Amino acid sequence: MTAVDKRLSTPVIWILLLTMPYWMDAMGGYTELACRVVVLGLAAMALNFLLGFTGVLSFGHAAYFGLGAYGAAMTIKFMVPSTALAIVVGVIVGTVAAAVIGALIVKLRGTYFAMVTIAFGQVFYFIAFRWNTVTGGDDGITGWQRQPLNLGFTTIDIQHSDIAFYFLVLALFAFAVAIMALLLRSPLGRTLVAIRENERRALFLGIPVERHIWLSFVISGAFCALAGSLYALLSNFTDPRSLHWTLSGNFVIMAVLGGMRSFWGPLVGAAIFVVLQDYVSSHTENWMSVIGLFFVLVVTFFPRGVVGIIKRRVVS
Amino acid sequence: MSKTDLLASAAKPLAADSVSSVPLRRRTIVQAAAGASLLQVASPFVITARAAETVKLGLDNPLTGTYAAVGKNELIGCQLAVEQINAKGGILGRQAELLSEDSTSGDAGTAVQKARKLIDRDKVDFLLGNVNSALSLAMAQVAAEKNKLLMVTGGHTDAVTGASCHHNVFRICNTTQMEANAVTPALIKDAGKKWYYITPDYAFGHTLQAGLEKACAKAGGTKVGGDLTPLGTTDFSSYLIKAQAASPDVIVFLTQGDDMINALKQAVQFGLDKKFHLAGGQQELEALEGLPPEARIGTWVFEWYWNQPNVPHVKEFVDAIKKKTGRVPTARTWFGFASAWSCALAANTAKSLDTLKMAKALQNLHLPPEVALMPDAPYFRANQNQLIPNLFVGHAQAQGSAPDDLFKVTTVVKGNDAAGTLEESGCKMTWPS
Amino acid sequence: MTQVLLFNVFNGLIVGAFYALMALGLSLILNLSGVINFAHGGFLAIGAYLAYSMMPVLGFWGGLVVAPLLTAFLGVIVERVLIRRLYGRDPLYSLLLTFGLAYILEDGTRYIWGAQSLPYPIPGWLTTPLSTSFFFLTGYRLFMVGLVALVVAALFLILGRTRLGMRIRAGTADLETVSALGVNVGVLRNLNFGLGIYLAGLAGVLAAGMLGLQPTIGTSLIMPSFVAIIVGGLGSLPGTLLGGLLIGVASGVTTVFFPSATEAVMYVMMGIVLLVRPRGLLGEEGRVQ
């Protein structure tokens, strides 16, 4: 990343994010769409922590996303109607699952690793589907809403104000992204990149590769779970689809589309994916062909994802 | 200028050009392609003019995926209704406009997102949809949050006008309990008393099976076994093997859509139709059309059927739809049609677009004959918001009077007879003060 | 109970044979080109729909012969125009491309043939079961198993005895050397892709006889194919065949005890196999990852 666009990209992106509800409406979008972009962007960036920076493909991250969603939904519906607690529970559930599963599968590599993550994701999907007394089965968990945030000195009504909820989501996004950026800049982050570049050499250098992959898996799972909790709060709803491998696939698509090697790439990919799908599907029944064609064109002409185009323009 | 200088100066601009012209050319092509692909594909039915004076109906239904066929039929019904409504003066004197969004077939997140888009951005006055029971429940929640009138077109699960009922959520299609009550007498008579269930494993399947088991027991029948099949099962052979081993009188197929087609097709290929009766609860013309002729068998209940020679206005409706699509209307077409019309009737009766006033106006509202298209006038049951229509019990046939006539109606059941009591539905409706 | 179990095991082998057919095509493409072909289901659908459209003219048997060839031809064009650009890049890009392609194929079939399921009749004499007690052994299913066996035998013959097959096998092991030895790698990959898509088209025509014909017919079959490949081990075609059969039998047996888990059981099986034997059942050392 050249000095120019590194210094430019972060402030530009933050300005866009902070003002999104305002220009999104003018563009024919709506605040909830902006929320979706940020939440799914967080999930894609979390996945990319593992995929783009550690070089490990997981095709089952929807498992942690979905567990975060169910954790949050079940907390509000069955336990305590508190948004803050819902988010915390969701993150904890997803992180614990990632830690356990990560430990089990860390010996696998490549396509095998990716497929076994699908296996776990689908088992969770099946449990959510069948255990319908607790999870509501195919109907999901309905009949609850995100609760206003009581901060002691003031209450933020995220239940009725979409914009207030957007800024809550953005704040948590900022928190997550800051931690990820810090980690990537730290020795841990550099070790992960080393593993991505050449795992065998890292091993020879005495780096405990498996432990680092596990750590990366847990961190990315934790932030994915955070995204999942926010997603449930966004829709006031969750269902087994949030655990399905097709959603995992969408996260991978977003990361690759935007640019795996770039920090902000997955956010750009998520923005394009969500907004394009939303816009095109309102105008034509054949939106799948349009989106499919778009993917094909991006892959064919832009080897480093969409961010690659922007970088090239800056450089030249 | 020396030869080398000339060559050097000639070479330099070329090199610079070739570096930047290739990506530029590629970029232009791609930008053009991306732009072209984003151009609105001519869609004759989605009206996107956002005139401020129109009354907007927002349909959030699947147009892609497994439920694309039935979702599309509901959309066509809505379109015809809106055309007719506008021809008759519109809603409260204003033109009606139909906005259509693709909920996709399985992802409730998308259905909820589109519902909010229709309400928040497009400011629709009515929300309509969905084919899928789970998505209907999710949309009902959005409608309750945003205080919009929701007309559920085709989601059958009982909870929509049962345990999860809301004062502003109405439903056109039947509950699974109503279907079960309507078809059970015919099943017992035609097929026998020992039933084996093949049930799709989701809310619709569960409630339909529960309804049938209750009605069957009341009529003296028994359940000899049953299996829950995952949604989207392609191969039913293992379930059919188990069914055969249980030696029932009838194998009751509760699967819908593609699952129904796969299950029936395979059952007939196995020759099970020669050993047992094959029948079930809800059946749809879309499924019968997808089956080979020898698999169009069994006793079923339809929620609406096009071949009603003695009922007024039905022929006009059938002809109008045939002109639009080249095929006869199905029950789904009628759901869409009746849903859109009910919205118009609600507003015109209440003389207002206020959700609460319209909801109150719909209580006990009877549909007029041009909308009802069945022998008895259906009405929205008060404090449940459930339409009580006729149900059409009969058996499938390979071909009847016309190539599209795949169902022979033997009994038209009155809605009041099939519907349980209000208490049985589990709906405890609360009205805002 | 034992009879039901036994029947389900037999039937599982039949169903598994079908999964194997689909998975073999996918495996061929993955092994040589390193391309994860998410559009495989889409090509299956195309094969089925082409056979449907040609049925009035060619009948069932003509469709069975011609439709897979046409689909393979389409596959060859797609490879030449699109997939070729992916070689040498991260396999994730093939995922994105074939994903987009899958979208286009599904939407295209829906646009051309409509969303309504179409009836696909098979010859009457094929639909009768062989015996009343073994009712699930219909002529059609046995025909399908026979066809799959034939195709597998032919595939192994091609790979084992012909020059093309030898080049494919050598290319799977070390494409660079094969290229250095003067083989036109581009043509090789093209033909290999075409062969894989031929199998997809054939699976499509067979599927249309058993299932309802609608645009999403291929999408539910793609995951079992991937699972079959992984369970059997990447890079091993016999492994893929074994994986397909195992999935079929596992699903069938699960129906007897835990019917709603028939779809989930293949994932559980894959998880267990990978945790115990990280390279799949017949996967070899140093294989394509």
Tokens of B96: 């009606």
Phi-psi label, residue A243: left if phi above 0, alpha if psi -120 to 50, beta otherwise: alpha
Decide if B121 contacts A28 (C-beta within 8 A): yes
Position B37 scores a pLDDT of 42
Position B15 scores a pLDDT of 40
Any chain B CB within 8 A of the CB of C91?
no
Strands B277-280 and B250-253: parallel
Question: A188 by DSSP, 3-state: which?
Answer: helix
Strands B126-128 and B277-280: unpaired
Any chain A CB within 8 A of the CB of C289?
yes
Domains and CATH numbers, chain B: 55-174+308-389 (3.40.50.2300), 177-302 (3.40.50.2300)
Q: Tell me the mean pLDDT in the region B97-106.
A: 91
Touching A: which chains, 3+ CB pairs < 8 A?
B, C
Domains and CATH numbers, chain C: 2-276 (1.10.3470)
CB contact under 8 A, C136 and B241: yes
Closest-CA residue to B321 (of B292, B296, B285, B375): B285
Answer with the residue of higher pLDDT: B118 or A304. Answer: B118
Position A7 scores a pLDDT of 63
Q: What angle do CA C147, C149, C150 make, to 5 degrees?
A: 65
Q: Residue A232: list chain B partners with CB under 8 A.
A: none
Position A3 scores a pLDDT of 45
The pLDDT tens digits for B145-168 are 899 999 999 999 888 999 889 999
Position A6 scores a pLDDT of 59
CATH number for the domain including A213?
Answer: 1.10.3470
Decide if B228 contacts B199 (C-beta within 8 A): yes
Closest-CA residue to B286 (of C212, A97, A33): C212
Of B238, B262, B287, the CB nearest to C211: B262
Distance of residue B105 Cα from the nearest chain C Cα, in angstroms: 11
Q: Return the beta strands (E) in chain A as ranges.
A: 149-150, 155-156
A with B: how many residue pairs have Cβ under 8 Å apart? 116
Q: Residue A111: list chain C partners with CB under 8 A.
A: 36, 230, 234, 288-289
Q: Residue B23: list chain A partners with CB under 8 A.
A: 312, 316
- ipTM for the predicted complex comes to 0.88
Gap between the Cα atoms of C251 and C221, Å rounded: 14
Distance of residue A187 Cα from the nearest chain B Cα, in angstroms: 37
Phi-psi label, residue B174: left if phi above 0, alpha if psi -120 to 50, beta otherwise: beta
Q: Tell me the mean pLDDT in the region A166-183.
A: 94
Q: Residue C280: list chain A partners with CB under 8 A.
A: 112
Q: Residue A115: list chain C partners with CB under 8 A.
A: 226-227, 230, 270, 274
For residue A302, what are the domain limits?
Answer: 3-315
Of B241, B265, B293, the CB nearest to C8: B241
Tokens of B23: 């990506």
* pLDDT higher than 70, residue B12: no
Position A313 scores a pLDDT of 66
Average pLDDT, chain B: 86
Q: Which residues touch B83 (CB under 8 Å, ≥6 apart)?
A: none
Gap between the Cα atoms of A251 and A117, Å rounded: 14
The pLDDT tens digits for C50-106 are 999 999 999 889 999 999 999 999 999 999 999 888 887 887 888 889 999 999 999
Position C93 scores a pLDDT of 86
CB-side neighbour CA atoms (13 Å) of B30: 18
Question: B192 by DSSP, 3-state: which?
Answer: coil
Kindly tell me the sign of the dihedral angle through the C-alpha atoms of C229, C230, C235, C238. negative
The pLDDT tens digits for B46-59 are 444 444 589 999 99
Position C34 scores a pLDDT of 84
Gap between the Cα atoms of A46 and B159, Å rounded: 37
* Predicted structure pTM score: 0.88
Position A48 scores a pLDDT of 95
Any chain C CB within 8 A of the CB of A138?
no
Out of A42-46, B415-419, C133-137, C272-276, least confident range: C133-137
Position A315 scores a pLDDT of 65
Low-confidence residues of chain C: pLDDT under 70: 284-289
Strands B126-128 and A155-156: unpaired
CB contact under 8 A, A235 and B203: no
Q: Residue A112: list chain C partners with CB under 8 A.
A: 230, 234, 274, 278-280, 289
DSSP string covering C227-280, please?
HHHHHH-TT-HHHHHHHHHHHHHHHHHHHHH-GGGTTTHHHHHHHHHHHHSTT-
Total domains, chain A: 1
Position A66 scores a pLDDT of 95
Tokens of C205: 């025509």
The pLDDT tens digits for B332-368 are 999 999 999 999 999 999 999 999 999 999 999 999 9
CB proximity under 8 Å: B 333-362 to A: none
Q: Tell me the mean pLDDT in the region A58-76.
A: 94
The pLDDT tens digits for A187-222 are 999 999 999 999 889 989 999 999 999 999 999 999
Decide if B280 contacts B184 (C-beta within 8 A): no
Kindly tell me the sign of the dihedral angle through the C-alpha atoms of A206, A207, A211, A214. negative
pLDDT-derived band at B209, boundaries 50, 70, 90 = very high
Position A316 scores a pLDDT of 57
The pLDDT tens digits for B17-47 are 334 444 444 544 444 444 444 443 333 334 4
Of C234, C261, C267, the CB nearest to A111: C234
Any chain B CB within 8 A of the CB of C263?
yes
